[in-house]
């Protein structure tokens, strides 16, 4: 409702609320952050945003150059007109269902701040489980050879290959790196590791490489533009102690029913897993076993119900058995959804 004084009146508590909140439309008002955040929450709620209060607080904290934990200390302050303008611009964008992480420009992932940009898949909290599984495996795999074995034969430059060969520790491959969050978290948490990461998307690889530089991990991860494992020739065999991926796994027919934040902003090739969602997953299961060293881990993030689907697929289970892979129980995410499919390469660890 617009009033004669040029202000807009809305109920801060939604249609059932009995208080009204006045938001100045132009700059120079005397609105406090507390009122603004409350109004913004309601506006986001009406726009169908899943966590309106959280998002409003994150945007306010972002504009104020603080973090959400410290925001309560500033909520009583009157808004500066420039900051108010910036805040309401971001709230309007969020109400149009642009993802919060895109507006903030980064996302927290396993304690790292990973920058995101348009055209690159936004890291999700459930993918932290994939990293947890990998890190736990690499830390407990006590019998890794001292120097981590020879570096995989890849399209790496001769200088890069020599650099990676000198490093000690396990070799890890991530397929479909996107922002680089998984590869970078593993490199960060296993300081001795040598990590290779592939993607077909040039935008993703640029984003991942710039994240690596910003996080001081540029010398630790090699990014390669490649279709799945195609950067690693026949002679690369058995070079990796872990192969990880969060591949596209949404069935094509479900793409249009995803939340607008996902369907309109994440790149289709990061999501589209083909008719049953498992097209890329099956290709990885076919290609990865030859790259794993004895005791090596294959870990893939999957959608709800897909781990059971794979385990019920005789052809896949048979192939994994024939290639020396032992299937382990999938690992659930925090919501209890079996999220990470795991298989170990059998054989003595050299
Ligand atoms: C779901 S996103 C995961 C990104 C990131 N690893 C994460 O967990 O946030 C899948 C990624 O796989 C990449 N991708 C899709 N098909 C691929 C292929 N055939 N080979 C390599 N990467 C692929 C996409 O470009 C996208 O970056």
Alpha-carbon gap, residue 61 to 33, rounded angstroms = 10
Half-sphere exposure of 343 (CA within 13 A, CB side): 28
Ligand 1 atom closest to the Cα of residue 204 is 27
Q: Per-residue pLDDT for 262 more than 60?
A: yes
Per-residue pLDDT, averaged over 30-58, amounts to 97
- Confidence band of 238 (pLDDT split at 50, 70, 90): confident
Encoding tokens for residue 326? 């032992």
pLDDT band of residue 7 (cuts 50, 70, 90) is: very low
Res. 350: pLDDT tops 90: no
Neighbours of 70 (CB within 10 A): 10
Can you tell me the mean pLDDT for 111-140? 96
336 exposure class (CB count in 10 Å sphere: 0-12, 13-18, 19+): exposed
Enclosing H/E stretch for 37? helix 33-46
Asked whether 184 lines ligand 1 (CB < 6 A), one says: no
Among 9-23, 105-119, 185-199, 229-243, the range scoring the smallest mean pLDDT is 9-23
177 lines ligand 1 (CB under 6 A): yes
* Residue 145, pLDDT above cutoff 70: no
| Ligand 1 atom with least separation from CA of 245 | 6
Give the tens place of pLDDT for each residue, 314-343.
999 999 999 999 999 999 999 999 999 999
**pLDDT tops 80 at residue 265:** yes
Quick one: which of 37, 53, 33 has its CA closest to 45? 53
* Residue 15 clears pLDDT 70, i.e. is over it: no
204 close to ligand 1 (CB < 6 Angstrom): yes
Expressed in angstroms and rounded, the spacing between residue 123 Cα and the centre of ligand 1 is 11
**DSSP for residue 18:** -
Is the CATH number of domain 7-96 1.10.1660? no
Helix segments in 226-313, DSSP class H: 260-263, 268-271, 279-287, 306-311
Domain-by-domain residue ranges, the chain? Answer: 7-96, 109-345
pLDDT of 11: 39
Q: Which CATH superfamily is domain 109-345 in?
A: Vaccinia Virus protein VP39 (3.40.50.150)
Band of residue 13 on the pLDDT scale cut at 50, 70, 90: very low
Higher pLDDT, 164 or 125: 125
d(CA 233, CA 156): 12
């Amino acid at each position: 409702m617009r009033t004669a004084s040029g202000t807009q009146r809305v109920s801060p508590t939604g249609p059932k609320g009995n208080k009204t909140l006045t938001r100045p439309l132009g700059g120079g008002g005397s609105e406090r952050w507390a009122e603004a955040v409350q109004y913004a929450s309601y506006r986001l709620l009406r726009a169908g945003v899943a966590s309106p209060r959280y998002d409003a607080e994150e945007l306010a904290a972002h504009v104020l150059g603080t973090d959400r934990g410290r925001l309560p200390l500033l909520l009583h302050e009157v808004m500066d007109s420039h900051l108010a303008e910036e805040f309401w611009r971001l709230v309007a964008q969020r109400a149009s269902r642009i993802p919060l992480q895109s507006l903030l420009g980064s996302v927290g992932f396993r304690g790292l701040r990973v920058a995101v940009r348009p055209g690159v898949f936004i890291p999700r909290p459930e993918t932290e489980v994939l990293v947890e599984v990998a890190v736990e495996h690499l830390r407990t795999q006590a019998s890794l050879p001292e120097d981590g074995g020879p570096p995989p034969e890849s399209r790496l430059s001769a200088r890069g290959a020599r650099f990676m060969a000198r490093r000690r520790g396990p070799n890890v491959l991530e397929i479909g790196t996107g922002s680089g969050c998984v590869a970078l978290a593993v490199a960060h948490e296993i300081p001795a590791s040598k990590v290779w990461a592939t993607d077909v998307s040039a935008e993703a690889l640029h984003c991942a490489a710039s994240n690596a530089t910003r996080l001081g991990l540029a010398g630790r991860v090699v990014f390669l533009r490649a279709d799945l494992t195609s950067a690693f020739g026949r002679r690369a065999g058995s070079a990796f102690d872990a192969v990880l991926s969060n591949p596209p796994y949404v069935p094509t027919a479900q793409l249009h029913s995803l939340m607008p934040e996902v369907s309109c902003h994440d790149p289709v090739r990061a999501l589209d897993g083909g008719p049953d969602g498992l097209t890329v997953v099956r290709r990885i299961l076919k290609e990865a076993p030859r790259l794993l060293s004895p005791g090596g881990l294959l870990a893939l993030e999957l959608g709800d119900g897909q781990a059971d689907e794979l385990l019920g697929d005789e052809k896949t289970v048979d192939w994994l058995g024939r290639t020396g892979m032992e299937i382990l129980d999938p690992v659930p995410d925090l919501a209890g959804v079996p999220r990470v499919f795991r298989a170990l390469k059998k054989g003595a660890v050299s």
